[in-house]
Amino acid sequence: MDEALKKELMGAVDASIEKNLREIVGPEVTAQVEKSVKALRLERQLTGRDITGLTDETKIAFVQDIRAIARGEKAAYLESSDQAGGYVVPVELHAGILRIAETVGIIPRDARRWEMGSETLEIPRYTGSAMQGEYVGEDDEGDETQNDLGVVRLNVKTWMTIFRIGNTLLADAKVGVADWLLSLAAEGMAYRLDREGFVGGTYAGSPFIGLLGSDDVTVQTLGTGATGFEDVSIDEASTAIGSLPTAALNDAAFYFHRTVWAKIRSRSTDVYDYSQSQLQIFKRENGIQPVGVILGYPVYTTDVLPAYSASAISTKFGVFGNLKLALAWGDRGPVEIAKSDSATVGGKSVFRANQTAIRMTHRHALGIQLPAAAVVLKTAAA
């Protein structure tokens, strides 16, 4: 295809999908999805492949499947689908979506992932202070009280996202549409996993319990007078670090909302290192990068944690911990896709607009795996 025509087609794809997404999910989510799409394209230009690991042929086949659903040519074979039809994305496409999710979300990348073959999965959770065992004599019996093993139960819930796409665009575009569809699914899934992992259980409608909402995770209340989110001094940070078992410190990090970190690092009485030389040490291969360093531990920001505008007394707002040990998420995948040509999405009738409503769903679970691997920061009462 002529390069100029290809660029013009991609621009039309971007403009059309971006407009519809803004009306439905808002400008911030749309901007994040667009960023992922551009990253995929840039990586393909530089290396010939992108983070999904999918070929153009696979992506084109994906769009053709979506188009077949939209035209009613693909029969429904989803257990939960109705006459509108739908299909389960191939395993390689699901893996590609997860790889994008790992670049835009903290929990998908850093928490331990468990593949689930059923609606519930029980995994062991150690509740003791240290797994140390004991010495016994030749004819003595061992004491089982040293093995403080509990269970964390992962219960699957259904996440979904719905958006509109023009039928003409769907018929003409190929790889460009696939990039948007894959990125949209990954962005939405990653955001919700991050939200549930960090603050689940603290807001209405949350199906899971996250670090800030858990009664099992240690809460470190800042010292008297430290009533604002910005009052995380070096002493407070040091106390948080000392709260974790040595084995959990290797991959531990601090997590704050970006507006909270902006206030913390502007303190003049303490030293928070965010020089490029320090950040380079903790630079990750993909995904969200560290924005600073506190006492040798990287700082990451996420918009799901409380913003500085919510600063108040006796309020949980930050986390220090090792997410790979602290959190587990279950993947009941793969992603399922269904369509409707008569729904109203974002206040618009897709039938009257000659569009198709695409619904993506994914079933996953999340739970606290090792409470001792994280500590939640909370402001003082006075």
What's the burial of 78, exposed, middle or buried (CB within 10 Å: 0-12/13-18/19+)? middle
Q: pLDDT class for 200, splitting at 50, 70, 90?
A: very high
Does any domain span residue 132?
no
Domain presence at residue 162: yes
Q: Measured between alpha carbons, how far is 105 from 186 in angstroms, rounded to an integer?
A: 9
Confidence of residue 154 (pLDDT cuts 50, 70, 90): very high
* Structural domain count of the chain: 2
Q: Is 282 part of any domain?
A: yes
Residue among 121, 201, 124 nearest 364 (CA): 121
Q: Which of 74-83, 139-148, 196-205, 349-358 has the lowest mean pLDDT?
A: 74-83
Question: Tens of pLDDT along 78-134?
Answer: 344 444 456 788 889 999 999 999 999 999 999 999 999 999 998 877 655 555 666
Q: Are residues 286 and 352 in the same domain?
A: no
What are 69's two structure tokens?
């659903």
- Looking at the domain assignment, is residue 127 inside a domain? no
Do 192 and 262 lie in one domain? The reply is: no
CATH number at residue 300: 3.30.2320
Using the predicted structure, report yes or no on whether residue 291 has a pLDDT greater than 80. yes
Q: What whole-number distance in Å separates Cα of residue 256 and Cα of residue 274? A: 15
* Average pLDDT value for the chain: 83
* CB atoms closer than 10 angstroms to residue 32: 20
State residue 147's pLDDT score: 53
- Answer whether 0.95 is exceeded by the pTM: no
Please state, in angstroms and rounded to a whole number, the distance separating the CA atoms of residues 10 and 22.
Answer: 18
CA 274 to centroid of chain Cα atoms: 24
Q: Is residue 92 part of a domain?
A: yes
Range of weakest confidence among 47-56, 121-130, 282-291: 121-130
Tell me: do 320 and 244 sit in the same domain.
Answer: yes
Q: Which two tokens stand for residue 25?
A: 């999910």
Q: Which two tokens stand for residue 7?
A: 């660029």
Residues 89 and 178 reside in one and the same domain: yes
DSSP per-residue letters across 168-213: HHHHH--HHHHHHHHHHHHHHHHHHHHHHHHHTTSSTT--S--TTT
Domain membership flag for residue 136: no
CA dist., res. 220 & res. 316, Å (int): 9
Neighbours of 69 (CB within 10 A): 23
In terms of domains, do 262 and 351 share one?
Answer: no
Q: Is the domain of 191 the same as that of 229?
A: no
The average pLDDT across 229-244 equals 93
Range of the domain at 348: 3-119+154-201+328-368
Q: Are residues 297 and 335 in the same domain?
A: no
Residue 54 falls inside a structural domain: yes
One domain for residues 158 and 244: no
CA-to-CA dists, residue 302 to 15, 146, 288, 289, 365, angstroms: 27, 38, 9, 11, 20
Residues 197 and 278 in one domain: no
Instruction: Give 297-313 pLDDT, tens digit per residue.
Output: 999 999 999 999 999 99
- On whether both 281 and 244 belong to a single domain, the answer is yes
**In the block, residue with structure tokens 């240290």:** 130
Those residues whose C-beta lies under 8 Å from the C-beta of residue 152, and which sit 6 or more positions away, are: 122, 123, 124, 125, 328, 367, 368, 369
Pick the closest to residue 26 from 204, 207, 188 (CA basis). Answer: 188
Residues 95 and 173 in one domain: yes
Strand partners, 194: none
- The answer to whether residue 126 sits within a structural domain is no
Between 233 and 24, whose confidence is greater? 233
**Res. 270 pLDDT band, cuts 50 70 90:** low
> Do 321 and 336 fall within a single domain?
no
